[in-house]
Amino acid sequence: MPLRDAARAACASHTFLRSWRCRPNLTFRGETLGLNGRRHVIKREEMARDLIRKVDHILKNHSGIEELVMSLSYDSEEAYDFPCSLLFNGSQNSIRYLRLSYCAFRPTTELGCCRSLTTLFLSHVWIADQELEWLLSNSTALEKLRLLSCTEIVCLKIPCLLQRLSFLSVAACRKLQVIESNAPNISTFHFTGNLVRISLGGALQVKDAEMYCMHESNMIRYARTKLLSWAPNVETLSIASNNEIISTPMLPGKFVHLKYLRFTLYEDEAISPACDYLSLVPFLEASPWLETFIFQVIRRSMKHESIIGDSSHLRQLPEHRHDKLKSVSIGGFSSAKSLVELTCHIVENASALECLLLDTTRGSFSPDGCSVDKPGQCARMGRKFLVEACRARLAIRTHIEGIIPSRVKLDVVEPCRRCHDVEHRDSIGV
């Protein structure tokens, strides 16, 4: 209910006023606080003061808050300083879910414990290392922690007291250098940003890991070395990198529990032609229980050696077996020789393979991609990518279709006829 309507109802009914003051869930947004329609009428400083007054008044007159969401993105020159004392003074045993955006959050040692807090989500929040460390140390019931664009954090320390913490997500905290966690039961760990030093202590329960490090090279090697040391029992692994795959040597460690692997490679125009997709094979071999492999290539240009017109033999690695692999999807499939070699290797050495998807379009695996049955949902590929898609289809017919066992279902995604319709593409401004 918008704040104005709630105020009117409270004036008319003391019963409503009492019930509203005890309402466990509160959501503060510009619309509910009556600020959106005033952006062009009042100054930013006045709007900030109005915001502070309203939020402070509501929190001061509330009791028993269990869920609080404050999502603000107003254009104030100074960040809103969230009133920690109003939130934790008297309601520290009731707040369970706290989500704050675009504010300063400064908890101190003078405040009480947050013994009921189970979920904490801070987005674009100004909070220092020591402040966050204190808050976490006094939130022993915490189960989920998510930090997004918290630019003051340099070293994230998570104490062993957080026995219930199972979900940890850290993204775009640009000053972050270290993540040190001693929480023993983290099962899901997601990280996005520049690679930092990560130590999860004794958290051997990590089953789901995501590492999206767009400015790092050779994330595959990182996964085989560093990631394996802090997540040896991972079952689902997603990796994204913006650089070429560097040949990965044989290493002793194995992902003995890994069943799902997704690797996304963003290739820019500066990528080296020596990028060797076949170098992924040792990683697959180091995952003996892998069942699903998704390899997504998103490129801006085609600089790899094409197999079209190449009379040399395809390389083979018969000593590498993948007997548990059932499903393989390759997005952005091209005529790159090493990519064709990788695909052929999988087909010939995955005895349990059931389905193979080769997407020659943009490689996003989107359900709303190219389809002649869905007008207006073309991939809108450039001419050079359309040419490469045709070359990729020829490579599939020439080198892959003939070795597909009868038990394996082969799906090939191609640009639809509208993508090839030059007049149609010109009419939509592509």
Please tell me whether residues 83 and 20 are part of one structural domain. Answer: yes
**In a domain? residue 215:** no
Q: Is 277 left (phi over 0), alpha (psi -120 to 50) or beta?
A: alpha
- Give pLDDT, residue 168: 98
**In a domain? residue 235:** no
Please tell me whether residues 273 and 354 are part of one structural domain. Answer: yes
- DSSP assignment of 341-376, as one string? HHHHHHHHH-TT--EEEEE-SSS---TTSS-TTSTT
- Give pLDDT, residue 92: 47
The two three-digit tokens of residue 405, written as one number: 């066992």
**In a domain? residue 90:** yes
**In a domain? residue 252:** no
Please tell me whether residues 102 and 39 are part of one structural domain. Answer: yes
User: How many CB atoms sit inside 10 A of residue 110's CB?
Assistant: 9
Please tell me whether residues 307 and 193 are part of one structural domain. Answer: no
**In a domain? residue 216:** no
Domain count, the chain: 2
- Give pLDDT, residue 395: 96
**In a domain? residue 240:** no
Please tell me whether residues 301 and 396 are part of one structural domain. Answer: yes
Please tell me whether residues 296 and 359 are part of one structural domain. Answer: yes
Please tell me whether residues 177 and 272 are part of one structural domain. Answer: no
Residues 126, 131, 134, 137, Cα dihedral to 10°: 20
- Give pLDDT, residue 424: 46
**In a domain? residue 184:** yes
Its pTM stands at 0.84
Please give, one letter per residue, the 3-state secondary structure of 15-76: HHHHHHHCCCEEEEECCCCCCHHHCCCCCHHHHHHHHHHHHHHHHHCCCCCCEEEEECCCCC
The two three-digit tokens of residue 1, written as one number: 């209910």
- Give pLDDT, residue 429: 45
Query: Among the residues of 177-311, which ranges form H helices?
Result: 219-222, 228-230, 281-285
Please tell me whether residues 309 and 392 are part of one structural domain. Answer: yes
Of the candidates 83, 86, 79, the one whose C-alpha atom is nearest the C-alpha of residue 102 is 79
Please tell me whether residues 143 and 289 are part of one structural domain. Answer: no
**In a domain? residue 211:** no
pLDDT along the chain (430 residues), means of 10: 52 49 61 51 58 67 78 64 73 79 87 85 96 93 97 96 96 97 95 94 86 85 88 95 65 89 82 73 93 91 81 84 96 93 96 96 60 54 84 96 97 79 46
d(CA 232, CA 235): 9
Domain assignment of residue 51, given as a range: 8-206
Residue 41: give its domain's CATH number. Answer: 3.80.10
Please tell me whether residues 181 and 267 are part of one structural domain. Answer: no
End position of a domain, from candidates 206, 241, 273: 206
Please tell me whether residues 67 and 143 are part of one structural domain. Answer: yes
- Give pLDDT, residue 319: 77
**Could you give phi then psi for residue 84, rounded to 5 degrees?**
-60, -40
Of the candidates 49, 56, 21, the one whose C-alpha atom is nearest the C-alpha of residue 35 is 49
d(CA 1, CA 8): 11
Please tell me whether residues 125 and 14 are part of one structural domain. Answer: yes
